[in-house]
Amino acid sequence: MTPIWRASRKPRVAEPARLDAPGDAPSPLDALPRIAARRAPAPADFAAIVAAETPVVLKGLFDDWVALAAGRASPGRLIAYLAGMDRGVPVPVMEAPARAGGRFAYRADMREFTFTRRHAPLREALARIEALTGREGAPTAAIQMLPLAEAMPDFAVQNPMPLLPAGTGPKLWLGGAVKTQTHNDRDHNLACLIAGGRRFLLFPPEQVANLYVGPLDNPPPLSLVDPEAPDYERFPRFRKAMAAARVALLEPGDALFLPRYWWHHVTSRDPFNAMVNYWWGGSDAPYDAFLAALLALKDLPPGARTYWRAMVETHVFGDPGTSAGHIPEGLRGALGAMRPDERAVLRRRLAAAFQT
């Protein structure tokens, strides 16, 4: 069977030029308010950072990583380091044609994306990416979201991250000059840059109405707006999103803590980039409840919608002392702090309701 990628290589430039090198027109996104930066925290301090749910750039968090040393040396050194840990597990690869300009986004009909997804042997995928790096008019290829615990179990041993909960595994993102359209995650995200530069453009979760996000049933839902060239006539509310936007410009050795639900548009600032990230702390339960609300509440008549909006704002998002403080604590039921057995009863009731 013909392999997905041809393993032949073409000569490449050892040190590809930065895409925003001096002489290029500076991006207005770089002038936005910056995410605060601080030195690597102790575990207790990191827990406080997570609890604050505010993005922060962490300096010196993984300076002892072997992968970081390889990435700082050259793309070829990092590729050789990763290839040396290959266990034969096929890796997820995305590729966009040259006409997409590196943008991983929707096509015009929003039913398909500008990129294709496939799996390939690690060494062939790395060779493909290396051969395309810096080539004018070439497609953009990237290894995306590779679980390193499965594909390269030695990676976590040589490049530890002790701040995170046990079992939180690293994932690899490596490739060309990718622009990933604005999206968000249901988990906390710690993104550790090991090669190249990246710009994270961040929007708070409450900006969802101003981001013009695409259909939920074609995951991941992406914003339709290109923040590097926004069409304000078509997307006028995006001005409000940009007024709330902040930016993080990462270099190798920098980590970004990104709280769950924060929207982010990610741009590779060099022809070759590599990042390792960790996701943790999320749950599908809120999303399932959101889908249930769409099913049960969205098409109600105006009066009923007004009632249920008030009920949710009062009892779900409101102050429990105000909404249920007048009820004795032992009688509050679902309106109070539910015990595990009460939660189990409620889950069974909901399961039975949706089965009918």
Both 158 and 289 in a single domain?
Answer: no
- 3 has pLDDT over 60: no
Contacts of 335 (CB under 8 A, 6+ apart): 315, 320, 323, 324, 327
| pLDDT tens for each residue of 99-128 | 999 999 999 888 889 999 999 999 999 999
Residues 203 and 317 in one domain: no
254 pLDDT above the threshold of 50: yes
pTM of the model: 0.89
- Provide the domain limits for residue 162: 28-280
Is the pLDDT confidence value at 191 over 70? yes
Q: Does 327 lie in the same domain as 262?
A: no
Burial track 163-174 (b if 16+ CB lie within 10 A, e otherwise): bbeeebbbbbbb
Structural domains in the chain (count): 2
Per residue in 273-304, pLDDT tens?
999 999 999 888 898 899 899 989 999 999 99
**Is residue 11 domain-resident?**
no
| Domain assignment of residue 149, yes or no | yes
Strands of 91-96's sheet in order across? 37-39, 56-59, 254-258, 188-195, 273-280, 171-175, 140-147, 91-96, 116-120
Same domain, 297 and 148: no
- My answer on whether 156 and 294 are in the same domain is no
The pLDDT assigned to 285 comes to 86
269 with 322, same domain?
no
Report which of residues 12 and 144 the model is more confident about.
Answer: 144
Same domain, 272 and 296: no
- Decide if 2 is inside a domain: no
The angle at the Cα of 319, spanning 185 to 281, to the nearest 5 degrees, equals 25
Q: Name which residue leads in pLDDT, 20 or 130.
A: 130
Judged against a pLDDT cut of 90, whether residue 10 lies above it is answered with: no
**Residue pLDDT, tens place only, 212-232:** 999 988 788 999 999 999 999
Q: Interior CA angle at 52 toward 225 and 64, to 5°?
A: 85
Residues 106 and 40: their CA atoms lie apart, in Å, by: 37
| Tokens matching residue 240 | 């409000």
Considering the domain architecture, whether residues 275 and 291 belong to the same structural domain is answered as no
Spatial distance between the Cα atoms of 183 and 220, rounded to a whole number of angstroms: 7
Residues 273, 294 share a domain:
no
- CATH number of the structural domain spanning residue 230: 2.60.120.10
Measured between alpha carbons, how far is residue 317 from residues 134, 151, 285, 326, 332 in Å?
A: 50, 42, 16, 17, 16
Q: Do both 304 and 258 map to the same domain?
A: no
Same domain as 322, residue 222: no
Same domain, 273 and 292: no
Whole-angstrom Cα distance, residue 162 to residue 192?
13
